[in-house]
Structure 1
Amino acid sequence: MVRGRGVLVGRRSPYPEEFRNDAVALYRAAGGQRTYSSVAADVGVSGETLRSWVRQTDEQAGRVCGGDGGGPGRGAGAAAGGERPVTQGREGVGARTGDPAAGGPVFRQGDEGMTRRWDFISANRAVFGVKRICQALRVSRSGYYRWVAGAAVREARQAGDDALVAQIREIHADHEGTYGVRRVHAELRGFEPTVNRERVERLMRREGLEGRHLRRRKRTTVPDRLAPPAPDRVRRDFTATGLDEKWCGDITYGQVSGTWLYLACVLDACSRRVLGWSMATV
């Protein structure tokens, strides 16, 4: 409060009115079992600040608040503190209960992401109130208000990600889809030296962009180290001037219907004619 010319002038609070009402309602809901400090810690303010909000609410309702642990009864002041008693059925709300009626908007149990929970609270706060939804979802109201306060930061971050994705797509397309995370990151460093590689990897994974990988060679022939080597009778000279002068063996393999087949054959060194062959899986 600021005193000027004998008149007390109230300083404008940085907290929204709905947030103050919810904080007061949370303290009163404890029924005197919690102190100002413990309730204030849940909403992210000081205990003295919460005490002043409760006192202001009581003065507006024509009552005087008691001590630290003695919260007033729930009546007209409880409704002024942010609670919304439901006495008539509304669209999507059950009569006298405030619960979602059949066919109304509900929060599914499988929606576990906190962002979806905050979005759900924002979409239904006008109908059910922030306090009631946070109690049903078992989340803190201070966390929700921090999420609301960070909306501008999230929008700026999303705009930056969208601009970076456009650059990544351009680099990926210019190199015919062959560049992966490391090469795309190296290209981006020329334009934005502060760009993070983990950020590039996250955005490329989100957009389904990946580089072209060379196929790993499969080793299908493993020599036996204990077997004696075959004698080299032609001394690595595979030339021949006539038929049946030198015969050589050769082996090849291929994958057919998911199975590796091995082909062994005997060739004439002069004519390269196949004299005999055999095929097996081992």
Structure 2
Amino acid sequence: LARSTYYHQLNAMNRPDRDASLLGLVREAFENSGRRYGYKRVHLELRGMGIRVSAKRVMRLMTRHGLVPLLKRARRYSSYKGEIGGEAPDNLVNRDFHAEGPNRLWAADLTEFRIPAGKV
């Protein structure tokens, strides 16, 4: 360990914490949110109060002092609701498409296309 490094660290430990005043404001914004805001929204709250501070500095303060939101982020939106109609119908044709008479065998092909106006 270099001599200059030792004395630099010794002096650094005696210096006052420059984030002490900011920590109170961060903690207040965090508690006012019901402990739900992360560092990004706390940073926006501080900006709304007219305090200019880096978002990374807010993140470091919150991490160092254990100010962690209660809930993680919301789930991503998915419109999938599961299989519709329950079970698949029985396969009565078994790939034998020859009909014994008119209106005895009907087949259909369902295809979905995505176009800018929506699904077709």
TM-score (norm 2): 0.53
Superposed counterparts of 1:249-264, under 5 Å: none
Q: CA, structure 1 residues 169+222, in 2 after alignment: closer, same or farther (shift >3 Å)?
A: farther
Q: C-alpha separation between the residues in 2 aligned to 1:181 and 1:146?
A: 31
2:50 aligned residue: 191
Point out which structure has higher relative CO (alpha carbons under 8 A, 6+ apart): 2
Superposed counterparts of 1:142-153, under 5 Å: 142-151=4-13
Percent identity for Structure 1 against Structure 2? 33
Match of 2:29 among 171, 174, 182: 171
Q: C-alpha separation between the residues in 1 aligned to 2:54 and 2:33?
A: 21
Match of 2:64 among 192, 206, 213: 206
Rg larger in 1 or in 2? 1
Consecutive unaligned residues in structure 2, runs of 5 or more? 90-120
- Secondary structure of the residue that 1:209 maps to in structure 2? coil
Q: C-alpha separation between the residues in 1 aligned to 2:63 and 2:83?
A: 37
TM-score (norm 1): 0.25
Which structure features the higher share of strand residues?
1
After TM superposition, give the deviation of residue 165 of structure 1 in Å.
1.7
Number of equivalences: 84
After superposition, the CA RMSD in angstroms is 3.4
After TM superposition, give the deviation of residue 179 of structure 1 in Å.
1.3
- Secondary structure of the residue that 1:165 maps to in structure 2? helix
- Secondary structure of the residue that 1:184 maps to in structure 2? helix
